[in-house]
A and B are shown apart, each in its own frame.
Chain A
Amino acid sequence: MRDRLIFSPWLALAPALTIIVLLLGASLAYGLAQSLGLMSGLNESSFSLRAYADLFSGQGIAGREFWGSLGFSLWVSLASTLISAFLALLLAFWLSGSRFDTLALNSNLAFPHLVWAIGLLLLLSQSGLLARWAASLGWISMPAEFPVLVRDKYGFGIILSYIGKEVPFLALLIISVLKTQPDGYNLVAENLGASRWQRIRYVTLPLVLPALLSGSLLAFAFIFSSYEVPALLGVNYPRMLPVLALRFFNDPDLSARADGMAISLVITVITLVVAWISLRKGEQ
């Protein structure tokens, strides 16, 4: 019995690892193969680097949009992450973790990104709730006069949606770090004559920064690689990379699949690098 309890850990891990390794491995292998022109469903499928060459040289239907999309993706992801991190920091210092506040922030995490984005759409579109209120206050006389806040070409709607979800996420992260820190540091600093601002700047901020950096990188990786929000709140041009990838993956012209797959793998590589840095920062 005692022997059975300390069975080889690998046997216990086998089912989970098998599923992950097989499915993840297969998806990446198939993705790579299709990006290289293999298994495209076409009769004359043969190995070629065309999709990648097109993307990086900015040629072909997918390539022409690639660099612009990459730039747009980076803009949206960076803006959302930086604004969220800054607001989360302010929020965490202000709320400092009362039970009810934590609960309120957690309730936001219960909204899937998809539903949050749809809520924003109904709230901010030109015939949405705020436009109706503006009209009944006499500020505008018809829907078209309301500013374009969602489905705009600058990605403001997408950024706004992500801020609404990432601020509570990062604020909860900071609050949980603050909770585990002893009061001692602050007391010592206060005893040595540090002002409130100095205590935040030299004591609290250095304590929460590693966790905030790690969490922000994770948020960046998530935003950079997700599809639903930009698909709902974005415009046709410019598009974020995941939207572009799925567009070419679903193209009736099967040779465009390679382009979609290549874009998806570019997204994956960038996401994994950022997640790896986040993991390293989180360990410190």
Chain B
Amino acid sequence: MTQDPLSAFENNIAPPLKIRVLDFWGRLGGGLPRIPLYTLLAAPLGVFILYAFSQGWFFPAPFPETWTTSAFERVLSDSRTLTSLRDSLMIAAAVSLLSLVIGFPAARALGLRQFRGRQAAWLLLYLPTVVPPLAIGMGLNILFLQIGLAGSLHGIVLAHLVPTLPYVTFTLAGAFARYDEAYEFQAWVLGAGAWRTLFTVTLPMIAPSLAVAALFAFLISWSQYLLTLLIGSGRVITLPVLLFSAASGGNPVTIAVLALVFLAPPALVIVATARHLHGGEIREQY
């Protein structure tokens, strides 16, 4: 008598059903107390979604009576939103790229070399993470007015580099501390030039950290409110500036739509780099 292969599988390999059921309830029991925690963590997003898609939602009603995307259409066809979205994206992209290019050699030196004054260089680069943006922005305000950088995208990009450079440099320095330079030497022995070594050996090897560093720079620049306000002199209205002014006295539906529009790019960037994140890396300033 030949045994049905499937039942053989169930008898021998699969655990008895009873245990699996118990395991399921056990897990659910462990998961149940987490429900309030997850509710709290998701609450702001839930509120934004409720308000953003609501129409004529008057006070005592617990939920919107009609759901609509008309608020989205209204806000997204407003030229102020589009301009601020464009400016925010351009600034954050430029800041990410520039801080990678400037932070890369610095990180290489900090991660691979031991030299006199290394600690001092590290401390100098650490300083912008703890000096309040308020003080940086207020101090730079007059200077940038004098040299004609106030109210321009260039000025804002330059100012954003102050908070982003430390994070980019330290992230990449961490990668270089675990990096073996012998690979570069080998490429050189095999006849590769400096640029070729950079693009075919060095950059691919630290690619995950490059992605995380770019994510930091993007997030910090994207969410920067005070520096932009103080350097932009009211002439450059980025998305956080627009959102803040809406929140100080606008209608809740517009605020919610703007908040969702503001959250979308960071969410996309985080998802794109998620597999390189190990948790706890997105730091305080953002």
Listed in ascending order, the chain A residues whose CB lies under 8 Å from chain B are 1-2, 4-6, 9-13, 15-17, 19-21, 23-24, 26-31, 34, 39, 41, 91, 94-95, 101-123, 127-129, 131-133, 135-136, 142-143, 164, 168-169, 172-173, 175-176, 218-219, 221-222, 225-228, 231-232, 242, 245-246, 249, 260-261, 264-265, 267-268, 271-272, 275, 279
With A19-B162, A24-B162, A135-B59: A112-B286 Cβ-Cβ less than 8 Å: yes
Q: How far is the CA of A225 from the CA of B129 in the complex (A)?
A: 12
7 A-B pairs whose Cβ atoms sit less than 8 Å apart in the complex = A13-B105, A19-B102, A30-B142, A31-B138, A91-B37, A101-B34, A232-B247
A158 to chain B, nearest CB (A): 14
Residues of A contacting B: mostly: helix
Complex contact B59–A114 (CB within 8 A): no
Collect the chain A residues with CB atoms within 8 Å of residue B263's CB: 111, 115
Complex contact A245–B138 (CB within 8 A): yes
Give the contact stretch, choosing among B2-10, B14-22, B109-117, B206-214.
B109-117
Collect the chain A residues with CB atoms within 8 Å of residue B133's CB: 226-227
With A2-B185, A24-B127, A225-B134: A136-B61 Cβ-Cβ less than 8 Å: yes
Q: B47 an interface residue at 8 Å Cβ cutoff?
A: yes
- Quick one: which of B166-220 are within 8 Å of A by CB? 166, 169, 181, 184-185, 188, 194, 219
Q: How far is the CA of A164 from the CA of B280 in the complex (A)?
A: 15
Partner of B143, one of A26, A172, A175: A26
Listed in ascending order, the chain B residues whose CB lies under 8 Å from chain A are 33-34, 37-38, 40-41, 43-45, 47-48, 50-51, 59-62, 102-103, 105-106, 108-110, 113, 115, 117-118, 121, 124-128, 130-143, 158-159, 161-162, 165-166, 169, 181, 184-185, 188, 194, 219, 222-223, 225-226, 240, 243-244, 247-248, 252, 255-256, 259, 262-263, 266-267, 270, 277, 279-280, 282, 284-286
With A168-B41, A260-B138: A123-B131 Cβ-Cβ less than 8 Å: no
B247 to chain A, nearest CB (A): 5
Complex contact A129–B47 (CB within 8 A): yes
Query: 5 shortest A-B CB distances, which residue pairs?
Result: A119-B44, A27-B139, A225-B132, A9-B109, A112-B223
Collect the chain B residues with CB atoms within 8 Å of residue A108's CB: 41
Complex contact A17–B135 (CB within 8 A): no
A159 to chain B, nearest CB (A): 15
Complex contact B139–A31 (CB within 8 A): yes
Collect the chain B residues with CB atoms within 8 Å of residue A122's CB: 44, 47-48, 51, 252, 255-256
Complex contact B134–A246 (CB within 8 A): yes
Which residue of B127, B130, B138, B181 has the most chain A CB atoms within 10 A of its CB atom? Answer: B138
Collect the chain A residues with CB atoms within 8 Å of residue B226's CB: 227-228
Complex contact B136–A23 (CB within 8 A): yes
Collect the chain B residues with CB atoms within 8 Å of residue A6's CB: 113
With A2-B185, A27-B135: A9-B115 Cβ-Cβ less than 8 Å: yes
A129 to chain B, nearest CB (A): 5
Which residue of A17, A27, A219 has the most chain B CB atoms within 10 A of its CB atom? Answer: A27
Complex contact A30–B134 (CB within 8 A): no
B182 to chain A, nearest CB (A): 11
Complex contact A228–B244 (CB within 8 A): yes
Complex contact A264–B138 (CB within 8 A): yes
Identify the closest chain B residue to A101 (Cβ). B34
A226 to chain B, nearest CB (A): 7
With A118-B259, A271-B131: A20-B125 Cβ-Cβ less than 8 Å: yes
Identify the closest chain B residue to A222 (Cβ). B284
Q: How far is the CA of A228 from the CA of B225 in the complex (A)?
A: 8
Collect the chain B residues with CB atoms within 8 Å of residue A91's CB: 37
Identify the closest chain B residue to A40 (Cβ). B142
Collect the chain B residues with CB atoms within 8 Å of residue A28's CB: 131, 135, 139
A228 to chain B, nearest CB (A): 5
Collect the chain A residues with CB atoms within 8 Å of residue B169's CB: 16
Complex contact B41–A232 (CB within 8 A): no
Collect the chain B residues with CB atoms within 8 Å of residue A117's CB: 247
With A19-B102, A115-B262, A116-B44: A127-B59 Cβ-Cβ less than 8 Å: yes
Complex contact A119–B259 (CB within 8 A): yes
Q: How far is the CA of A129 from the CA of B37 in the complex (A)?
A: 19
Complex contact B128–A20 (CB within 8 A): yes
Complex contact A114–B244 (CB within 8 A): yes
Identify the closest chain B residue to A91 (Cβ). B37
Collect the chain A residues with CB atoms within 8 Å of residue B267's CB: 110
Given contacts A30-B143, A172-B279, 11 further A-B contacts (CB under 8 A): A1-B188, A21-B124, A29-B139, A112-B240, A118-B259, A142-B59, A222-B284, A225-B134, A242-B134, A249-B138, A264-B135
